[in-house]
């Protein structure tokens, strides 16, 4: 289990909150009996037990597109989980400000989060300091192999002659802080960010569980909360 907090930390009121994960996913339409607020790939039981519940399969991908979210930048969030092997899911825990990704034994998946996919964010990140920070707060590092690549992609000036898109990837290997400097996103105007996305590629990791969040620019220190992760991950295993 890799337990990943994706933070942008450091300490002023000028920080931009990209997602505080205060808004849960909508109930999954393919799990009407269970009413689970998750996205998933693989096989899930719609109900307390199967049988009598129905087994539901997603063998390509699953997604939640939401608008009007109070806790997400621009109010719009697209979350997509892609099938690789086994069963995996993602859910949001507002009380902790986390979004989680959970895998059953032998399972692998890929998770994408996008903000501003269809409606420009038009947000000025320049009051913030100069780097994104990914903090691996806790985790079962025995669940190899590693790494879990994390890619951040940003687009600025969308629809103008100055439109630019750039990405940066870091491998999450050990419990550590991972820094994504603004300067490494060549050509990006951080005074006019229109889209930002995060890709967590756990396709080469078996049975990894992790949580990220909240997502911020690095001007705000986000206190780490004590974890009840064992209880959380068991909900959707």
Share of the chain above pLDDT 90, in %: 54
From 217, 234, 213, select the one nearest 22 (Cα to Cα): 213
Q: Is the pLDDT of residue 205 over 90?
A: no
Q: What is the pLDDT of residues 122-148, one digit of tens each?
A: 998 887 555 665 554 445 545 566 678
Spatial separation of the C-alpha atoms in residues 108 and 200, rounded to whole Å: 11
The average confidence (pLDDT) of the chain is 83
Q: What is the pTM of this model?
A: 0.85
The answer to whether 155 and 195 have CB atoms below 8 angstroms apart is yes
Q: What is the pLDDT of residues 161-189, one digit of tens each?
A: 999 999 999 887 766 667 788 889 999 99
φ/ψ of residue 234, rounded to 5: -70, -15
Mean pLDDT of 93-120: 92
Q: How many domains are contained in the chain?
A: 1
Let me know if 43 is exposed, middle or buried by CB neighbors in 10 A (0-12, 13-18, 19+): middle
Range of the domain at 73: 2-234
Indicate the helix (H) or strand (E) that contains 39.
strand 38-46
Lowest mean pLDDT among 84-88, 112-116, 131-135, 155-159: 131-135
Residue 89, strand partner residues: 40, 102
Spatial separation of the C-alpha atoms in residues 222 and 12, rounded to whole Å: 11
Let me know if 215 is exposed, middle or buried by CB neighbors in 10 A (0-12, 13-18, 19+): buried
């Amino acid at each position: 289990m890799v337990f990943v907090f994706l933070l942008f930390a450091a300490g002023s009121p000028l920080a931009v909150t990209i997602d505080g994960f205060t808004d849960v996913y909508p109930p999954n339409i393919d799990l009407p009996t269970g009413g689970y607020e998750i996205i998933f790939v693989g096989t899930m039981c719609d109900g307390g037990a199967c049988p009598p519940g129905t087994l539901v399969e997603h063998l390509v991908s699953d997604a939640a597109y939401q608008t009007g979210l109070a806790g997400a930048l621009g109010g719009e969030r697209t979350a997509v989980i892609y099938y690789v092997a086994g069963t995996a899911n993602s859910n949001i825990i507002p009380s902790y400000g986390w979004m989680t990704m959970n895998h059953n034994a032998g399972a692998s998946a890929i998770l994408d989060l996008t903000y501003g996919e269809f409606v420009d964010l038009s947000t000025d990140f320049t009051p913030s300091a100069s780097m994104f920070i990914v903090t691996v707060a806790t985790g079962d590092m025995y669940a190899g192999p590693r790494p879990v690549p994390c890619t951040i992609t940003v687009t600025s000036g969308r629809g103008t002659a100055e439109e630019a898109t750039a990405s940066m990837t870091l491998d999450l290997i050990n419990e550590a802080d991972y820094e994504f400097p603004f300067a490494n996103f060549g050509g990006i105007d951080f005074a006019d960010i229109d889209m930002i996305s995060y890709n967590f590629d756990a396709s080469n990791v078996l049975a990894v569980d992790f949580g990220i969040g909240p997502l911020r620019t690095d001007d705000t220190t986000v206190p780490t909360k004590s974890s009840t992760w064992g209880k959380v991950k068991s909900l959707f295993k």
